[in-house]
């Protein structure tokens, strides 16, 4: 049998970009390799809701035409990219993993998607996800669960499980995901790939179907830190179509990657290594930190004392915002409408939403509506917002002393399919190390730091607001130092 590592679809984006530029390979050949892998593995992994084979080959041929003509060609040209099915793609079904949007075909492109198209990327398809981004395992999807390419009996993580599984299996080279409470970082950790959630406001949310608007952010998934930086260069930057998109200077994220880490101050928050963390994962993270320390970084113990309130605050704020955002799905404006015997408008709304939304989405709409209702608003929603401010304050304090913070991504290894589906609280607790960053709006990256048996472990690097460069720089340094098997 031919060794898989020799296949084009197992290479990273930067490598392929170089090969394309030198004429060693064509975009069509890369696309063929990716779709061959899809033919071999997609049946068992289920990373995609929709694959776009036909348009992919057209885009690949266009890319090859550009290479033939020569000139200044963007790095992403000819590179296959998978896009989470929560980002609007003009003329291509965008389901959000939900029955209520099962047949929804947007009339416009999300800005992030538009930007990768403009850079010449090849769209492989739309990836599977927990319905509206609600979940940590990609089991809450109308399209069925995505399986972890490292172990098909285990989950890929969520909610961007399809995107992470596609990159991990070679069914795509790069992917876009979204991260409201960890959905780029957590599935990246579970699938053994690299994923970055930028600072809130760094990437436009225009065309991203909203889950919790004050937390949602689009991120990049690739095999390496360089690949994430390459994608971030394309998708970030101000967009007048999103009023929360930050009008800040956009650096060249690839530039920070070569720098060493001498004297970089890395904060280690004691609260992220407390009870509940798998001892094997703890060991791997501490090994990674020790390696960086040995190579010039300074390790600084820090405290983020309000961390124990993060999960509670997150699930109150996220559900409150979701209950409002999801009010637009009423059978009138979008997608699915109940076909039952209907007497009046109210009954139509009721039936459509009852039949159109899955269990977890309904649970969250109810919880969110409850915490916003008169009499409970102060006790829950307002309290959660106060906790959010304190959590952000903890990070502000810590960042006076350190340049970045290092933690695990998840408290546990990828779990078995079905294992946490009957216990929502157990599922929510998987997000314990990721949600604080969304509450504080901070950038964070998950990168592979070894395996326990055959299961990948993720290291999280957290940066100051708009300092993705530090996150990428430390990540790239770690990648160089460690012998990590992807
Ligand atoms: N698992 C978290 C949730 O269910 C985060 C999801 C996300 O980041 N979209 O809300």
Domain regions of the chain by residue span: 2-256
**Nearest atom, ligand 1, residue 428 CA:** 1
Closest-CA residue, ligand 1 atom 10, reads 134
Question: What confidence category does residue 210 fall into, taking pLDDT thresholds of 50, 70 and 90?
Answer: very high
Task: Place domain 2-256 in its CATH homologous superfamily.
Answer: Amidase signature (AS) domain (3.90.1300.10)
What one-character DSSP code corresponds to residue 416? B
Ligand 1 centre and the CA of 179: distance in Å? 7
Question: With the CA atoms of 323, 324, 330 and 333 taken in that order, what torsion angle do they form, in degrees rounded to the nearest 10?
Answer: -140
In the three-class reduction of DSSP (H, G, I as helix; E, B as strand; rest coil), residue 383 is classed as helix
pTM metric for this prediction: 0.97
> Going by DSSP bridges, is the β-strand pair 80-84/122-127 parallel, antiparallel, or unpaired?
parallel
Token digits for 119? 């850079």
* Structure confidence at residue 5 (pLDDT): 56
Ligand 1 atom closest to the Cα of residue 179 is 8
Who lines ligand 1 at CB under 6 A? 133-136, 159, 179-183, 211, 318, 431
Mutation choice for ligand 1 from 135, 187, 326, 362, CB with most ligand atoms inside 8 A: 135
Name which of 316, 88, 91, 124 is nearest 204 in CA terms.
Answer: 88
- Which of ligand 1's atoms lies nearest the C-alpha of 158? 1
List of residues 6+ apart from 294 with CB closer than 8 A: none
Give me the pLDDT at residue 335, please. 85
**Is 485 considered catalytic here?**
no
pLDDT at 3 over 60: no
Give burial (CB, 10 Å; 0-12/13-18/19+) of 399.
Answer: buried
Q: Is the pLDDT of residue 2 over 70?
A: no
Contacts of 204 (CB under 8 A, 6+ apart): 110, 111, 112, 218, 237, 238, 239, 241, 242, 245
- Per-residue confidence at 340, pLDDT binned at 50, 70, 90? confident
Instruction: Note if 26 is an active site residue.
Output: no
Distance CA 362, CA 359 (A): 5
How far is the centre of ligand 1, averaged over its atoms, from the C-alpha of 135 (Å)? 5
Let me know if 204 is a catalytic residue. no
| pLDDT 10s digits, 241-272 | 999 999 999 999 999 899 999 999 999 999 99
């Amino acid at each position: 049998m031919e060794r898989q590592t020799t296949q084009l679809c197992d290479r990273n984006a930067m490598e392929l970009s170089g090969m394309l530029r030198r004429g060693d390979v064509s975009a069509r050949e890369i696309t063929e390799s990716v779709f061959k892998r899809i033919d071999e593995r997609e049946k068992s992994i289920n990373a995609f809701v929709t694959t776009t084979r036909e348009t992919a080959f057209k885009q690949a041929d266009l890319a090859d035409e550009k290479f033939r003509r020569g000139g200044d060609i963007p790095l992403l040209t000819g590179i296959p990219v998978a896009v989470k099915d929560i980002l609007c793609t003009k003329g291509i079904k965008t389901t959000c993993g939900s029955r209520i949007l099962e047949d929804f075909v947007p009339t416009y492109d999300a800005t992030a998607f538009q930007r990768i198209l403009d850079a010449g990327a090849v769209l492989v398809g739309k990836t599977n996800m927990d319905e509206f981004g609600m979940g940590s395992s990609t089991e809450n999807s109308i399209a069925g669960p995505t399986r972890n390419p490292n172990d098909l009996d285990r989950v890929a993580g969520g909610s961007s499980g399809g995107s992470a599984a596609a990159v991990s299996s070679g069914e795509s080279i790069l992917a876009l995901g979204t991260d409201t409470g960890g959905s780029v970082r957590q599935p990246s950790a579970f699938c053994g790939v690299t994923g970055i959630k930028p600072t809130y406001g760094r990437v436009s949310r225009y065309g991203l179907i909203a889950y919790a608007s004050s937390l949602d952010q689009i991120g990049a998934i690739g095999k390496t830190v360089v690949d994430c930086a390459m994608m971030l260069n394309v998708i970030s930057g101000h967009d007048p179509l999103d009023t929360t998109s930050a009008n800040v200077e956009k650096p060249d994220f690839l530039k920070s990657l070569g720098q060493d880490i001498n004297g970089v101050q890395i904060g280690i928050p004691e609260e992220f290594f407390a009870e509940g963390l798998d001892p094997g994962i703890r060991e791997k993270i501490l090994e990674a930190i020790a390696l960086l320390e040995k190579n010039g970084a300074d390790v600084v113990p820090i405290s983020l004392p309000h961390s124990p309130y993060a999960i509670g605050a997150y699930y109150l704020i996220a559900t409150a915002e979701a209950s409002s955002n999801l009010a637009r799905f009423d059978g009138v404006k979008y997608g699915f409408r109940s076909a039952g015997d209907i007497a009046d408008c109210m009954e139509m709304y009721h039936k459509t939403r009852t039949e159109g939304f899955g269990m977890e989405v309904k649970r969250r709409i109810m919880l969110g509506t409850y915490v916003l209702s008169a009499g409970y608003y102060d006790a829950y929603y307002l309290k959660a917002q106060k906790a959010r401010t304190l959590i952000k304050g903890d990070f502000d304090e810590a960042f006076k002393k350190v340049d970045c913070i290092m933690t695990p991504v998840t408290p546990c290894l990828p779990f078995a399919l079905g294992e946490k589906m009957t216990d929502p609280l157990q599922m929510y607790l998987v997000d314990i190390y990721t949600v604080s960053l969304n509450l504080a709006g901070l950038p964070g990256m998950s990168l592979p730091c070894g395996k326990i048996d055959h299961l990948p472990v993720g290291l999280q690097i957290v940066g100051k607001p708009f300092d993705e460069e530090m996150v990428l720089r430390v990540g790239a340094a770690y990648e160089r130092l460690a012998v990590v098997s992807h």
